[in-house]
Amino acid sequence: MVRAISTLVGLAFVGVLALALFFTAKDAIQNPAPEAAEHEFHLHPRDAALSSAGYFGTFDRRQVQRGFQVYKEVCAACHSLKYVAFRDLKEIGYTEAEVKAIANQWVIEQPSINPDTGEATTRKNVASDHFPSPFANEVAARAANNNALPPDLSLMTKARHDGANYVFSLVGKGAYRPQPAELVEKFPGAKTPEGLHYNPYFANLNIAMPPPLTSDGQVTYTDGTAATHDQMAKDVAAFLTWTAEPKLESRHAAGFASVIFIAIFCFLAWGAYQNVWRDVKH
């Protein structure tokens, strides 16, 4: 008796779920959701053509250093790199002395405590310190950015789809543009709000960040490279690719070595099989 009741209850539950699924599917077919402006006007990221892309990619250290210069002079005023230490810069070609100088001369100092008074103070950065946040806390960050919170850039190229190309496109030439009249005509409610900026590479088309790169030559590269708008965008994308995955080259090398090992192992296993069963007639 108990088994029969349990079976009936189970069948009733399955029936209710089936009816709910049927009516939901029917409603979705008969009354499809209105097309969103993001779907029609959002653009796929442009290809930055970085040397680190692909299965055998490696970092162009001169480019990564240029990207660090762009971050330092343009992005660091709002965006943090909390997972990167100054000493990590040695991996992209800076000497120990250069790293110490960069840390010591960094505009934002480390928070500290005065040992004599116990009051909050600051101290110079050292190579072992992580890059300090430009803001004391989230409240201060929002207050300085029209209530928008600038994201940490350490892992940005891993946190966004097609990350390096996304960063390059988002800040590259032509990314910030007037909102198309066609968009406003078709989607009146999608007009860019006051204080935001239209950018077709951003998820919802409207971004709080003002254009970070505004003109050619905004940064003067120490290696003499012409600092065009797209060059600066490409270089900072290369730098953020490195911050997100500094071991990319060793990972690629390990993967390549593993494939070679597996190929040799399979050949040896096949040879052993042939040797063991060579006298057996099929």
Q: What is the pLDDT of residues 220-258, one digit of tens each?
A: 999 999 999 999 999 999 999 999 999 999 999 999 899
Domain annotation covers residue 174: yes
pLDDT at 281: 62
Contact 109, 132 (CB under 8 A): yes
pLDDT at 48: 96
Contact 165, 237 (CB under 8 A): yes
Q: How far apart are CA 29 and CA 24, in angstroms?
A: 9
Q: How far apart are CA 12 and CA 9, in angstroms?
A: 5
Residue 170's domain is classified under what CATH number? 1.10.760.10
With residues binned 3-state (H G I as helix, E B as strand, rest as coil), the percentages for the chain, rounded to 5, are 50, 5, 45
pLDDT at 32: 47
Domain annotation covers residue 56: yes
Q: Which residue has the tokens 């009516």?
A: 23
Question: For residue 40, how far is the Cα from the chain centroid?
Answer: 23
Which residue, among 203, 205, 211, 208, has the nearest Cα to 174 in the 3D structure? 211
pLDDT at 26: 61
| Alpha-helix runs per DSSP H in 79-207 | 96-105, 138-144, 156-159, 163-171, 181-186
Domain annotation covers residue 27: no
Q: How far apart are CA 261 and CA 265, in angstroms?
A: 6
Q: How far apart are CA 84 and CA 76, in angstroms?
A: 13
Strands (E) across the chain are located at 110-113, 120-123, 197-198, 206-207
- What tokens appear for 3 in the block? 């088994």
Domain annotation covers residue 266: no
pLDDT at 16: 77
Domain annotation covers residue 105: no
Domain annotation covers residue 67: yes
Ramachandran assignment for 9, one of left (phi > 0), alpha (psi -120 to 50 degrees), beta (any other): alpha
Q: What is the pLDDT of residues 21-37, one digit of tens each?
A: 776 766 656 554 445 56
What residue numbers bound the domain in which 191 lies?
Answer: 37-84+130-250
Domain annotation covers residue 62: yes
Could you tell me the pTM of the whole model? 0.82
Domain annotation covers residue 115: no
Look up residue 179 and give its amino acid. Answer: Q
Which residue, among 59, 83, 56, 75, has the nearest Cα to 167 in the 3D structure? 75
Q: pLDDT below 50 — which residues of the chain?
A: 32-34
How many structural domains does the chain have?
1
pLDDT at 68: 98
